[in-house]
């Protein structure tokens, strides 16, 4: 099985180059003012040029209104939209229809019962991103560097298309892939030296770890 790899929260040409050279299938740009990884639509539009023909560019928003989405789509021309807030299934369907783009819906997981939240989105969202629930008091819905009990996801139907997210880094991705067979993985804080500061060397190390894990796992 092929494994999609998304490096999210990119904001510099150097880190995008490291992600692409490592073999990222997706590069993510975050549009959320509270995030230290926040970029403007124009900035993302310039940065995503390097990914054309090499990786899918993903625009990540949190409960964004149409005006912001319009600006992002016009300036960045993303290949996919990621909705990382409290968007309802109806809102996901509305966004898909408005822009004609695939939509990945992020959902938070901490216990088995949280997987029930996927059902209303089935057949609407093109893909899921399953992330850890943010710590109490956190302002960010994702990118908090925390993980969850991955064993919960073993109960999912194998046909569910999801990206595993939450606290992944070079040190633990092998363990995740030995336990699960997700169709994709997503990371952000795991390749940072400080919140929002991606390190090209850490990105490279992560891809080395991925290759080692893939050599000994079913993915």
H/E segment holding residue 109:
strand 103-109
H/E segment holding residue 6:
strand 4-7
φ, ψ of residue 123 to 5 degrees: the values are 85, -5
Cβ–Cβ under 8 Å, residues 190 and 142: no
The angle that helices 89-99 and 66-76 make with each other, rounded to 10 degrees, is: 40
Q: Report pTM.
A: 0.92
Residues 199-217 have pLDDT tens digits of: 999 999 999 999 998 787 6
Residues 134-176 have pLDDT tens digits of: 656 555 555 545 678 899 999 898 889 999 998 899 999 999 9
Cβ–Cβ under 8 Å, residues 60 and 28: yes
2 pLDDT tier (thresholds 50, 70, 90): confident
């Amino acid at each position: 099985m092929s494994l999609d790899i998304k490096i999210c929260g990119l904001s510099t040409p150097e880190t995008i180059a490291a992600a692409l050279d490592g073999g990222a299938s997706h590069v993510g740009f975050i549009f959320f003012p509270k995030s230290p990884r926040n970029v403007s639509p124009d900035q993302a539009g310039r940065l995503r040029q390097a990914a054309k023909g090499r990786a899918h560019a993903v625009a990540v928003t949190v409960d964004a209104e149409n005006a912001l989405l319009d600006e992002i789509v016009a300036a960045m021309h993303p290949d996919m939209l990621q909705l990382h807030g409290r968007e309802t299934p109806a809102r996901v369907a509305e966004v898909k229809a408005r822009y004609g783009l695939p939509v990945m819906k992020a959902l938070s997981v901490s216990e088995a019962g949280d997987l029930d939240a996927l059902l209303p989105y089935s057949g609407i969202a093109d893909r899921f991103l399953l992330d850890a629930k943010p710590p109490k008091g956190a302002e960010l819905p994702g990118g908090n560097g925390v993980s969850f009990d991955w064993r919960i996801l073993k109960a999912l139907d194998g046909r569910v298309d999801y990206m595993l997210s939450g606290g992944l880094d070079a040190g633990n991705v092998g363990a995740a892939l030995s336990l699960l067979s997700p169709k994709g993985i997503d990371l952000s804080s795991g390749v940072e030296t400080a919140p929002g500061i991606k390190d090209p060397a850490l990105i490279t190390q992560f891809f080395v770890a991925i290759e080692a894990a893939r050599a000994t796992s079913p993915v």
